[in-house]
Amino acid sequence: MTPKVTIGCCWDGKDYYPPEYINILYNSVCRNTTIPFDFICYVGPDAEKPGRTDTINKNIQIIPVGLPSWWSTLPWFQKNPPGVKTDSVLFLDLDIVIIGSLDDIINFPAEQAHMKDEPSHMCRSGRERHMNTSVTLLRNGAGAKVWDEYVKAGMPTWDALRPPGGAVLRMAEQDIIDNPRNGIKYELFPEWMVCSYKFQVLKKGIPNDCRVVVFHGQPKPAACLHEPFVKENWR
């Protein structure tokens, strides 16, 4: 059976996210979708060092893309991403906890869709349409403009934990997509479907029927096992 969707992530090969994060994400996807899928992880140069991928589940296809840190997210936006054999791609950050079915996210009616960056209760003026790539749905090469703009900028890379003051494309794909001059069209997932741990869960609780909780910034899921929903689902 030809898979309906490719589900992917990226890993730089360093220790900020141990390899177990990749396996946990894969296991969580397996438990939370009825849709056939391929699972691919794009990795940076450090992951190609001897032994770095030995503990990763063999059902996960590892594809080196030659970009360090979280810059390895960018190749997912190519018209024909490496290794992808499906029309639809669901990209997921490693620092998420899946707590419900992904089926509605995979079937979301859009060519390109993302998590809303700032929830409505705290969204700053002018950022109502700003997005976050932690959960990203792409169909039929819809993200190609993002990759093209990155290439046009010279494919800059720098340490994500130590960004230089005058960095080009500071947040890379997010800056490219949010820039209205690029004319990139996309939809936002409902805030109840994909939510932020620090901005929504800690302040207002988990929304009803939420599917994914995103742990952008700090803390990460491994530090939140005291939360029953993390202990139950992040495994």
82-97 pLDDT tens trace: 999 999 999 999 999 9
Q: What is the mean pLDDT of residues 9-23?
A: 94
Q: Give Cα 223 to chain centroid, integer Å.
A: 20
Decide the pairing of beta strands 131-139 and 5-11: unpaired
Give 222-228's long-range contacts (Cβ < 8 A, gap of 24+).
224/197
Would the pLDDT of 158 be above 90? no
Higher pLDDT: 159 or 6? It is: 6
Backbone angles phi and psi of 216, in degrees to 5: -70, 145
For 209, the token pair is: 């029927």
What value does the mean pLDDT of the chain take? Answer: 93
For 220, the token pair is: 């990460």
92-130 pLDDT tens trace: 999 999 999 999 999 999 999 999 998 888 889 888 888
Distance CA 73, CA 75 (A): 6
Distance CA 14, CA 34 (A): 32
Backbone angles phi and psi of 194, in degrees to 5: -130, 120
Would the pLDDT of 80 be above 70? yes
Residue with tokens 């720098």: 158
* Structure confidence at residue 138 as a pLDDT band (50, 70, 90): very high
162-203 pLDDT tens trace: 666 665 556 688 889 988 999 999 999 999 999 999 999 999
Distance CA 201, CA 207 (A): 8
Q: Which domains does the chain have, with CATH numbers?
A: 5-189 (3.90.550.10)
pLDDT at 167: 59
- Record the pTM: 0.94
pLDDT at 165: 66
Counting residues of the chain whose pLDDT is more than 90, the rounded percentage is 78
Q: Are 6 and 85 in contact (CB under 8 A)?
A: yes
Distance CA 40, CA 26 (A): 9
